[in-house]
Chains A and B, each alone.
Chain A
Amino acid sequence: MNRTIVKHIVVALVLVLFQTLVLQYAGFLSFVPLVYLYAVLIWPIDMPVWRALLLGFLMGLAVDILLDCPGMHAAATTFVVYLRRPLLRTFLSKEETEGMEPGERSMGFLGFWKYALVMILCHHFVLYLVESFSWADPWMMLLRTLVSSLLTGLLVFLFERFRR
């Protein structure tokens, strides 16, 4: 149990640094893949919710601090972490096993991608909604949500190809 939590913290750290130091510069216009979310996607199904919430919040806060944008990523990430459990229950076709990590292999291609896409879309939507509170351009916000989600999805797809 302790080894899995250490592993997931390391994965989260690496993805946060990859996001803030590399990916943030690879976007075009206002569209950026937000791939640190992948860490949240693959947390074990039975990770205690309070632990997932705290980890998600801290991860978002780390991204916020590194990008100088307070609270946004923390709010969005905490939100989808809260959604995770019910979503997994909905899209899990197979039997839930102890310590199972969501993925194409464990959930099936369709099951995983339904879950992943809803998570990605919700996260990006909340993020851009929160970011544009003081700024009303709803079409731009929706466009950013869709395009960025597509970019994130592509990277998650790549990651899944190289998994194990």
Chain B
Amino acid sequence: MGRSPIRDAIQLLADNHLATIAPYRGAFVSHLEPQTELLLLEMRRELDPVLANATAENAHKEDCRRLKQLGRKVQSAIDKNDSAAIIDIDGELKELMLEVCGNPFLATSLRPIYAVCRRFYFNAVRTPDRSLGKIYLEMIEAMAAKDPCRSEKAALNVVEKVEEIARNQLVGLK
């Protein structure tokens, strides 16, 4: 591969905080402290409810249909204890929300945060968490029902649950 595509790729990784560029020297793979996850979740407490609200507000018929479909996939992945499927569905849902919300500024703010959160979460959690799955489904249903208020509350519940899981893991690490 030539240098230009590599440079572009590294720039993209850097934009998502997965690499750090050292001018005139090269790039480092970013080292992430475990506390970074809690920091990101503190940010998501403010941002996820806004995203869920905007998604519910702006979802068209076709988006609602896709949301419902994703909800069914989540349910079946939980029933089958299929973590690999959850990783894909979660990525798909987040991309759908970032697109449907209709706010490019919110989307570019959240994309790198989600990239790193996913790296943390799915590195550590090997089986689907049932109680998280339940409130996660409630969030999807609220958005599919085009209920901004309910979606906002559900999104906050999801972040709080993920935070609780992350905290327990940190305690486990020590």
- A and B, one complex? no
